[in-house]
Homo-oligomer: A and B are copies of this chain.
């Protein structure tokens, strides 16, 4: 029994080269579930395609990162999750725009940092400004109350929080900006790996908060880019 290829015909990659033109966001390569070769091929094809925007490989493990950077040198490590040894690789970051928007990313705890950094990396890759302020959970309210100037100045606020996710509700009551809430899977058992924070953010008593999926820093960054694009282009 040799490890021969499966007998079905080989599928081709079907890169969506026009996605940035349609949506303002180029197709990104999500690492988990792909082989290192698939990651490398997708990155290479995106770089060789008609677009000129950022190319991102997200949640890449060491083998995926190695294969991709071998096939396509010049990547920056845009964010890194030390605990899970996953990283965001970035090729062709956009230069800082002249009328760039400004995003404030807040985290409730230090354990939320990897997700927050993934969000920030996407925003920066598209040429906008980001400030990341960690560890302002509501058990010590003075910490978030001390960020009121930044909250007033931000075009978009991203709140990254696990456990009960109460930071999103408090922030929603302190700012006029759009608030994108990212539940994280940090915390004890009753956090249910992020479900509690997600539900709390969706049921928030502060109106006008929206949420993305658990640990989905990438999605929050993309949402922020959508908002800023609408704002900047107006």
Q: Which residues on A are within 8 Å of B, measured CB to CB?
A: 1-9, 11-14, 16, 18-19, 22-25, 27-28, 30, 32-35, 38, 42, 65-66, 69, 75-80, 82-83, 89, 105, 107-111, 113, 117, 120-121, 124, 130-143, 145, 155-156, 163-166, 169-170, 172-180, 185-216, 218-219, 222-223, 225-227, 229-232, 234
Contacts and interface: CB of A to CB of B under 8 A. Distances in A.
B190 A203 contact: yes
A80 B199 CA distance: 27
B176 A188 contact: no
B89 A208 contact: no
Nearest to A229: B176
A202 B210 contact: no
B178 A223 contact: yes
A193 to B, nearest CB: 7
Contact of A186 (B6, B33, B80): B33
A169 B177 CA distance: 24
B132 A9 contact: yes
Given A77-B6, A164-B200, A176 B13 contact: no
A233 to B, nearest CB: 8
A16 B140 CA distance: 6
A33 to B, nearest CB: 3
Contacts of A135: 11-14
Given A34-B110, A83-B35, A203-B188, A77 B169 contact: no
B222 A78 contact: no
Nearest to A208: B222
Contacts of A173: 19, 22-23, 138-141
A195 to B, nearest CB: 7
A232 B199 CA distance: 31
